[in-house]
A and B are shown apart, each in its own frame.
Chain A
Amino acid sequence: MKIMVAVKRVVDYAVKIRVKPDKTGVVTQNVKMSMNPFCEIALEEALRIRESGLASEVVAVSIGPSQCVETLRTGLAMGANRGIHVESTASLYPLSVAKIFRKLVEIEKPDLLILGKQAIDDDCNQTGQMIAGLLNWPQGTFASKVVLDKEKQVATVDREVDDGIETVCLNLPAVITTDLRLNQPRYATLPNIMKAKSKPIKKFTPEELNVEIISDLEIVQVTEPPKRKAGVIVSSVDELIDKLKNEANVI
């Protein structure tokens, strides 16, 4: 069984976001970039499935500019067998990414596709669902637990939904997107970082995959959210209750 995992290069989660003065986006130059945390969880889950003997190969895929190779190397150092980089400098929205994945699935024929539920830059939460739709595969989004049954060729997925946990059973091949509590991703060790340098990364362009990047979205502007005005520090519970009652009128 082969598992394909998507890994996205994003602004590191610990970086304080700054909006560009010309409102065209956020500052990404000279900013630390990392693998999207939800993608790390996706890769970790794939590696655990392989380590349990249920899968033989984990292929990491990243789509975007040349620097995505760094993200793929991180994935290879975590333990992915090999990488695929689809190089493009265009603005890629989830629909285009999903179309690229559809082609890669035709080429690689994985049994399972695991993605993060969203990327922490655009917060779209769309790509996994869109790939599943294009492939007509079942989907298990926002997964907090995944149990594979190799004989029956099904995955049982616990999903974090608004009212608690929903459990679904998916026939393979399937798409799973990961939520925060699925696992704790490992760190790459130094020997594995060295080893990752010699693991293969296959290159494609969208043209080679016959995917036309069409954009039906246009970023008009990116702005800072309105600031909350500074509050006050009260000195006692009595003062707090008084303020809530008589100033804010909320209790």
Chain B
Amino acid sequence: GSTLVVAEHEGGVIKPPSLSALAAATCLPDPDSSVSVLLAGSGPSLQQAASHAASCHPSISKVLVADSDKFKNPLAEPWAKLVHLVQQSGGYSHIFAAANSFGKNVMPRAAALLDVSPITDVTGISDSNTFVRPIYAGNALCTVRYTGANPCILTIRSTSFPVHQKSVDSNEASISQVDLSTFDADLGKSTYISQTSQDEERPDLGNARIVVTGGRALKSAENFKLIEELAKKLGAAVGATRAAVDAGYVPNDLQVGQTGKIVAPELYMAFGVSGAIQHLAGMRDSKVIVAVNNDADAPIFQVADYGLVGDLFEVIPELLEKLPEKK
């Protein structure tokens, strides 16, 4: 079979969640499979991203570039039509994308246009038609077999498909333009207005090696700065519980949990986090979990490798004093 990976790019490089989707695509147990990458957008950064895609994995045989202003913003309507168009000419057996806010917005719409059932949030690949995905907020794992026509459309959970940095100097994939002459966008139905800008100084929550998370027990946005200080000292990303976001201590994009970000860092440190099911769903795959809470019965301690029962307003300053500076 042949596989298409729908990828996002920024600043001339493929975004990390898309690299994970690429890593997942190469897990398909088909020795003859070839992998194509679809990129869209406009301007010089698109061409740079295409070069990056062509050399970022040895399994990639082709990079398809859709160069148009219509794809400047991540709107689902033109993107889903693009995936539909590319599938019609390419006849892929599988289409992969990351299960991030882009993939979850675009891929089901594209699947509907192609009259197939998509599979969301894949965490494991058993064979070319059998996949594992969490259901009930990760309280159960469902193995599902796709029995429909091509393509099998999947969004994958990035934390389950880590990217191994490989540099490929030789055997670069070919780069070709998608023929958009038949692209009937029928646009004007949705318009992109704006996007809040991200804090560039912080490591990205989805890819950080260490995540420091604060819960409702921080009590205020002012107090939450303690979490940010500790994160800075550790070179870590900042996370928050739904309760802390709802209370307005931090913006929504820091939420870790079933409906927020799914993270699996090497070290996850939770302060004043009770451990609600929907929060655990977002961090239970972390390698090492530390929990600090003054309630010894908090459910978070049931998943923590190291628990400390204590007042976070005493523990964090002590950690700030005693932790080694990051290298």
B258 within 8 A of A: yes
Q: Which residues of A contact B259 (CB under 8 A)?
A: 117-118, 179-180
Q: Which residues of A contact B252 (CB under 8 A)?
A: 144, 160, 164-165, 181
- Pairwise interchain contact A240-B306, C-beta atoms closer than 8 A: yes
For chain B, the bracket of interface size reads 35 or more
A74 within 8 A of B: no
- Pairwise interchain contact A129-B305, C-beta atoms closer than 8 A: no
Closest CB pairs A-B (n = 8): A216-B148, A133-B112, A164-B196, A138-B190, A126-B108, A130-B112, A129-B108, A133-B109
Q: Do most interface residues of chain A lie in helix, strand or loop, or is the interface mixed? A: mixed
Cα–Cα distance between A34 and B284 once the two chains are bound (Å): 26
Closest CB in chain A relative to B305 CB, distance in Å: 4
- Pairwise interchain contact B135-A218, C-beta atoms closer than 8 A: no
Per-residue 0/1 for A65-99: is the Cβ within 8 Å of any B Cβ (1 yes, 0 no)?
00000000000000000000000000001110010
- Pairwise interchain contact B301-A233, C-beta atoms closer than 8 A: yes
Q: Do most interface residues of chain B lie in helix, strand or loop, or is the interface mixed? A: mixed
Cα–Cα distance between A225 and B74 once the two chains are bound (Å): 34
Cα–Cα distance between A127 and B109 once the two chains are bound (Å): 9
- Pairwise interchain contact B120-A219, C-beta atoms closer than 8 A: no
Q: Can you name the residue of chain B whose Cβ is closest to the Cβ of A221?
A: B143
Per-residue 0/1 for B185-214: is the Cβ within 8 Å of any A Cβ (1 yes, 0 no)?
010111111111110000000100010000
- Pairwise interchain contact A139-B290, C-beta atoms closer than 8 A: no
Q: Contacts A17-B140, A123-B120 given; 9 further ones with Cβ under 8 A?
A: A133-B112, A133-B113, A163-B198, A164-B196, A218-B144, A223-B141, A231-B306, A251-B210, A251-B323
Candidates A162, A241, A248; contact of B323 at CB < 8 Å: A241
Candidates B100, B136, B149, B266; contact of A123 at CB < 8 Å: B136
A121 within 8 A of B: yes
Q: Can you name the residue of chain B whose Cβ is closest to the Cβ of A238?
A: B322
Candidates B80, B137, B196, B319; contact of A241 at CB < 8 Å: B319
- Pairwise interchain contact B101-A161, C-beta atoms closer than 8 A: yes
- Pairwise interchain contact A162-B105, C-beta atoms closer than 8 A: no
- Pairwise interchain contact B136-A11, C-beta atoms closer than 8 A: yes
Q: Which residues of B contact A118 (CB under 8 A)?
A: 259
Closest CB in chain B relative to A37 CB, distance in Å: 10
Per-residue 0/1 for B137-152: is the Cβ within 8 Å of any A Cβ (1 yes, 0 no)?
1111111111111000
Q: Which residues of B contact A1 (CB under 8 A)?
A: none
Q: Which residues of B contact A159 (CB under 8 A)?
A: 101
B324 within 8 A of A: yes
Q: Which residues of A contact B137 (CB under 8 A)?
A: 120, 123
- Pairwise interchain contact A231-B307, C-beta atoms closer than 8 A: yes
Q: Which residues of B contact A222 (CB under 8 A)?
A: 135, 140-143
Candidates A95, A131, A167, A219; contact of B144 at CB < 8 Å: A219
